Structure 1
Amino acid sequence: MTPRPKGVYHISAFSWYAFVVMTLAAKDGEELPPGIFVYGGPWKYLTFLNLLLQMLFFGLAAVSDLQDEKNSNNTLNRCPDLIFSVFAFPVGMFVVVLFWAIFAYDRELVYPATIDTFLPPWINHAMHTFVLPLLLGEILVQPHAYPQTKNALATLGLVGIGYLFWILWVYFSAGIWVYPLLGHFSAVGLLGFFCFNMSVVTLLYLLGDKLNSSTKPQQRQKKKKKAK
């Protein structure tokens, strides 16, 4: 695609995420369902952290679009590639896949019905559904340079361990689990669930790499046609 449609896509996606985040921020002060924002507020939820991650990525991508293509190797232009490949795509897809899988089984384990009185259904879909088409659209709009797989997965693993420690910190500090589902596991079960989740994230990273690679030949053909 030409730079202009690409820029419009990035700005639109950034604006969408900014709107969703501001809508959630405006909920501060309203009557909350019991325990929803106890200790750590929304910062303990992977869904909210993912919203900020997606907003950061699309914001950086929009700024990068303003740069001269001749300077495509500078830090500002490489940063969106790194964030998208290692974090935005696998984490965003993980949030969508895991949330709806658990929600379909028993929503009370991950998104209790009491939250519906606080967050309207469209916000639920903004956080847990629309992330997927926006990420797939990004791959079609602009393929990204992926790092070495071992380095990317090592980084993802460290981030995953960091989030696990954050969840445990919240539990031992406030006596609540970030997600009700976690309270049903023993210590061994919790470790197994974490390993399972990291396996899913790994597969999603590899999926992103595969999809990204499959679009590159198409992009090259478009560039050749424009050059003729």
Structure 2
Amino acid sequence: MTRTSTCAYHFILWNWYIFLNVYIPQLGTIFQDGAQTKYLTLFNLLLQAVFFGVACLDDVLKRIKGRKDIKFITAFRDLLFTTLAFPICTHSFILLFSLIEIILRPHHYPSRKTGLTLLAVSSVGYISRILWLHSKTGQWVYPMLARLSPVGLTAFFFLSYISAASIYLLGERLNHWKWGDARELHPNLCRRKAESPTFPHTTCSPAFLFY
């Protein structure tokens, strides 16, 4: 896929998720009053809109500046995708688009410890939001939680994190399968090695051309 096609793909999905985030709250009061941070499905749609917006911005700026790195935006794009957008990409179409994203371009994964820690922090944040809403309203966001004992709730939340962590590891493995270990090296270093006569043979993957 060319840079232009990738940018167009990101732009289309960005607008699609913006449409969903605007349209769904109009369907009923249940989808209003903080529903985007209350229901994981709606939060996921908001997160995807932010990610594809950042990805589209990254594409546009790189076209304007040639092949120079937009370090902060690219790093933020990768961190957002690897630790949040992909691990919680629930539902079929969101998962499909996230899998396509892995195939389209390489993403720099942080160390496994850092990635799973950031995922855990976000999970604790969301669980805290659910518990806070229950303490204020006396009702659970998801009615099924009312049937669980404190031990059952703890087990449910723990298994939910394990599920998200498993998807994180899946994304890491797919990224490695598709793009190899090239992202362990800074893309500029890959270019210098490839262009230097003292490094006639380089192990850098063509993945760095996407940066």
Structure 2 CA distance for partners of 1:175 and 1:9, relative to 1, 3 Å? same
Letter in 1 for 2:102: I
Q: Which has the higher contact order (CA 8 A, sep 6+)?
A: 1
**What is the TM-score with the length of structure 2 in the denominator?**
0.80
**What is the TM-score with the length of structure 1 in the denominator?**
0.74
Equivalent residues in 2 for 1:90-105 (5 A)? Answer: 90-92=87-89, 96=90
| 2:15 counterpart of 1:15 | yes
Pairing partner for 2:72 from 75, 83, 88:
75
Structure 2 CA distance for partners of 1:53 and 1:222, relative to 1, 3 Å? closer
Pairing partner for 1:62 from 41, 56, 63:
56
Q: Does 64-73 or 78-87 show the bigger shift?
A: 64-73
Equivalent residues in 2 for 1:143-158 (5 A)? Answer: 143-158=106-121
Q: Which structure 2 residue ranges, 5 or more long, are not aligned?
A: 183-204
Letter in 2 for 1:213: H
Shift of 1:69: 5.4
Letter in 2 for 1:184: R
Secondary structure of 1:130's counterpart equals helix
1:113 — aligned with what?
none
Structure 2 CA distance for partners of 1:207 and 1:129, relative to 1, 3 Å? same
For the residues of structure 1 that align with 2:33 and 2:22, how far apart are their CA atoms? 20
Shift of 1:39: 6.2
| 2:174 counterpart of 1:211 | yes
For the residues of structure 1 that align with 2:15 and 2:137, how far apart are their CA atoms? 34
Structure 1 runs of 4+ aligned residues shifted over 6 Å read: none
Identity %: 36
| 2:129 counterpart of 1:166 | yes
Alignment size in residue pairs = 183
Shift of 1:73: 5.3
Kindly indicate whether the alpha-carbon contact (under 8 Å) linking 1:40 and 1:170 is maintained by their aligned counterparts in 2: no
Letter in 1 for 2:123: G
Q: Does 63-72 or 203-212 show the bigger shift?
A: 63-72
Pairing partner for 2:150 from 154, 163, 187:
187
| 2:43 counterpart of 1:49 | yes
2:85 — aligned with what?
88
Shift of 1:222: 8.4
